[in-house]
Structures are given as structure tokens and as C-alpha cells.
Structure 1
Amino acid sequence: MKHILTATAVALALGLATAGASAQYTGPSSIPAVTVKALQADGKDDQHAVLRGKIVSSVGDERYLFSDGTGQMKVKIKQKVWPAQKPVDANTTVELVGEYDKELIGESHFDVKEIRLP
């Protein structure tokens, strides 16, 4: 009986530790929010940024079209980045945290590291 209680306590402790590790920070950030227009005009390769707007369509292979009212940009979003708690559609306002991938040849895009639902 003592072993069962000890095993249960350990399992509960591990479960609580794992739950805390999956929490997301939602406070202020030192990464600046920018517009698509500003990022495309003045953005630097690997620049960290936050974009606010809507993911308007899928263009295939983890690539999506994002719009913020100032312009549109392709964004790359890996499956593991999508929020599990709420589905995202073309009407959902999101904050995309990531890096601008400025290409010298070809089309530049934004590599999304985190999706926030404000």
C-alpha cells in the first residue's frame, strides 16, 4: 500500500511539473511589433518581430498567407506551433512571434516560432 501511495505521489508531482512547463507567457515583450509593410521595406534577415493580423489562407507545405491591413506576407508555421486550445481561421486575430527570413533570391517570408491569441 505504501508503494502505491508513493508511486501516485510521484506521478502527480510529475504531472504538475509538466503542466507548468507548457504554460505560455502572455505579458509584454522586448520584441517589437511591426507591420508587414515596414518589415518588407526595412526588415533585416533574421530580425525578430511580432506581427498582428490574420492568417487568411494556406498556400501549402506549412506556408500561409498573413495579412495585417498594411500588406500580405507568406509565413511558415510548423505543426507544433499551432495553439491547441483554440482553432485558428481566417477571422481569428493572431500575434505571430518569429523571425523575418529575407531572401536575396526568391520570396522572403516570416518564420513563426509562436502564435498568440490576444
Structure 2
Amino acid sequence: MKKIILASVLALSTGFAAAAFVGPNSAPLMTTAADAAKADDDVPVVLEGYIVKQVKGSHYEFRDNTGTIQVEIDHDKWPVQNITPQMKVRLSGKVDRSKFTGFEAVDVKLVEIIK
């Protein structure tokens, strides 16, 4: 029950408005790069940290205090304001995992600058 409440509070406090089933057999919300890298495909993710560099195309390296992972941010998901590696951001999306190659990236649906 505590996990359900925590996931609900996190989702509401981050502005991530996507609804999802939360109950028995539902996946927990991942909140760190290390946890997201180990999570199953399509698990919801809300990460806070820094986009440190562009890897290739729409793929970027994201860093938080648990490590780095690759995130995919389509051009239409970026906010109007430019983002630098020194700016803290909140990324909301889902894990994108290939059954053949393993972890691919976090597919980002919302980028927010944290002031």
C-alpha cells in the first residue's frame, strides 16, 4: 500500500499526468538511473538529474547520483528554454528495453527544468 501511495504522490508532484494501473502485478515507478537501467520494458520512470551530453541524434546521456543512462528525447519534447549540463531537469517517460540487446534507453515524454 505504501508503494501505491508513494507512486501516486510522485506522479502528482512531478506533473506527470499519464494514468496507469497501480496494483497487484503492476511495475513500480523507477526514480533513479540505476533502477531504470535494470527495470523491465515499459516501466514508468521519473528521473531528476542532468543531461550531460548528446550521444547521437535524439539520444543523450543522463546523470544522477546513482550513475548514468541513455535517454531518448524527441525534438518535440524539449522545452522552449535551452538546457545546459549544469541545469537540473526532471524527465518523465518509460523504459525502452529490447529483448535482443537489453536496455536501450528511457523514452522521455516530458522534460521539465527544475529551478
TM exceeding 0.5: yes
Find the structure with the greater CA-based Rg. Answer: 1
Give the Cα–Cα distance (whole angstroms) in 1 for the partners of residues 113 and 91 of structure 2.
9
Whichever residue aligns with residue 71 of structure 1, its letter is G
- Shift of residue 47 of structure 1? 0.8
- Shift of residue 60 of structure 1? 1.3
Aligned to 1:55: 51
Give unmatched runs, 5+ long, in structure 2.
Answer: 1-11, 19-28
> Is the contact made by 1:65 and 1:73 (CA closer than 8 Å) also made in structure 2?
yes
Larger helix percent: 1
How do 1:13-92 residues align onto structure 2 when only pairs under 5 Å count? Answer: 28-29=13-14, 32=29, 34-41=31-38, 43-84=39-80, 86-92=81-87
Identity of aligned residues (%): 28
Aligned to 2:22: none
TM-score, normalised with respect to structure 1: 0.69
Aligned-residue CA RMSD (Å): 2.1
Offset from partner CA, 1:11-49 (integer Å, 9 cap, x none):
xxxxxxxxxxxxxxxx525784511111223x1210111
Larger strand percent: 2
Whichever residue aligns with residue 61 of structure 1, its letter is G
SS in 2 for 1:40: helix
TM-score, normalised with respect to structure 2: 0.70
**How many correspondences in the alignment?**
91
Give the Cα–Cα distance (whole angstroms) in 2 for the partners of residues 62 and 89 of structure 1.
16
Whichever residue aligns with residue 82 of structure 2, its letter is P
